[in-house]
Amino acid sequence: MKNRRAIILILLAIASGLAAFFATRAFRVSNPSGDEMRWLADEFALTPEQVAVIRKLEADYAPVCAEHCRRINEIRARLATLENNSPDGEAARAQWAELVRECNAATMRHLESVAAAMSPGQGRRYLALVVPKLARHEHTHPFGLK
Amino acid sequence: MNPPRDPHDPDPLSRLLQSWRTTPARIGDEAFAAGVWRRLGPRAEARAAFAWLPRLFASPLAACFLVIASALAGGSAALAYNHATKTERMAAAYARTIDPLQMAPAGTRAGH
């Protein structure tokens, strides 16, 4: 009788733990899009001065990023009209590979500048978290290649 | 089957049999018997060590505490899981705002 009561109690405890787990997960609050800077400030405990520095870095990086976007779209459009094995196609693919390297290098420099604006520990954590999320398309086919 | 004998039975043989006590002779190896009791010893001690557990479960207050503690542990685990997944999600969204290779085609993102 005592053993049965103990088993029932243990099962009840497990059930309550699981119910609390799934109920809490269901009430996850989603962040609105465009809120990345606020997330950055909260996640990496940025001071107002650090936030101001990072906003300036983002503003300086925006034109570089826009230019890269433009060149990516340009090469995509060109590759969409070229044959895979043609000389122009090969040249375009080489340009694409070079552009990917350039984009990655510029993005990494920006990330490192942002990390340098944070405290050392947070900066390392920032790089460890964000760098793996970058697209590295050096070995994949560019979009639109026939 | 015979009914049990009354200790105040006047029959002398019956009284003698009621009072007779004896210790049976030990059969087998002394070392074997000692080994058996040695092996039984830790298990008996372990059972004694956890004898309080069934008594604990019998207490309504302890039972309530266990259920509440389990619910709190489940909730805490979910909060930690939510935070970890949110961090990954937000980091991926942030990377999409700075990585031109992940950005949408030109003209669909504000600022570019």
pLDDT tens-digit map of A45-59: 999 999 999 999 999
Beta carbons of B99 and A135 less than 8 Å apart: yes
Residue range A12-38: average pLDDT? 82
More confident residue, B20 or B8: B20
Chain B residues in contact with A130 (beta carbon < 8 A): 91, 94-95
Range with the lowest mean pLDDT among A36-40, A47-51, B47-51, B56-60? B47-51
Question: Tell me, what's the ipTM?
Answer: 0.78
pTM confidence score: 0.62
Examine residue A17 and state whether it is found in any structural domain, yes or no: no
For residue A66, give its domain range: 35-146
A69, part of any domain? yes
In eight-state DSSP terms, residue B29 is -
Residue A106 is assigned to a structural domain of this protein:
yes
**Token representation of residue A107:** 């993005």
Evaluate whether residue A94 is within a structural domain.
yes
Nearest by Cα to A138 from A89, A101, A83: A101
Which residue did the predictor score with more confidence, A59 or B25? A59
Q: pLDDT digits over A80-139, tens only?
A: 888 767 778 888 888 888 999 999 999 999 999 999 999 999 999 999 999 999 887 544
The CA-CA-CA angle for residues B57, B58, B59, to 5°, reads 90
CB within 8 Å: A133 and B95: yes
A-interface mutation test, from B47, B59, B70, B86, most A Cβ less than 10 A away: B70
Residue A14 with chain B: CB contacts under 8 Å: 70
Residue A103 · residue B103 · CB < 8 Å: no
Q: What is the pLDDT of residue A43?
A: 92
Q: Looking at chain A, which residue has its C-alpha nearest residue B62? A: A9
Q: Supply B56's token pair.
A: 């604990």
CA distance B53 to B71: 20
pLDDT over 90, % of chain B: 19
The predicted structure's pLDDT at residue B19: 84
3-class secondary-structure state, position B4: coil
Is A68 inside a domain boundary?
yes
Taking CB atoms and an 8 Å cut-off, how many pairs form between chains A and B?
119
Domain-located, residue A95: yes
Residue B18 pLDDT: 83
Answer positive or negative: Cα dihedral of B2, B7, B8, B10: positive
Q: How many domains does chain A have?
A: 1
Q: Could you give the CA distance from residue A103 to residue A129 in angstroms, rounded to a whole number?
A: 19
- pLDDT for B5 equals 55
pLDDT tens digits, one per residue of B60-89 = 888 889 899 999 999 999 999 988 888 898
Residue A6 lies in a domain: no
Asked whether residue A14 is domain-assigned, the answer is no
Q: Which of A69-78, B22-31, B42-51, B100-109 has the highest mean pLDDT?
A: A69-78
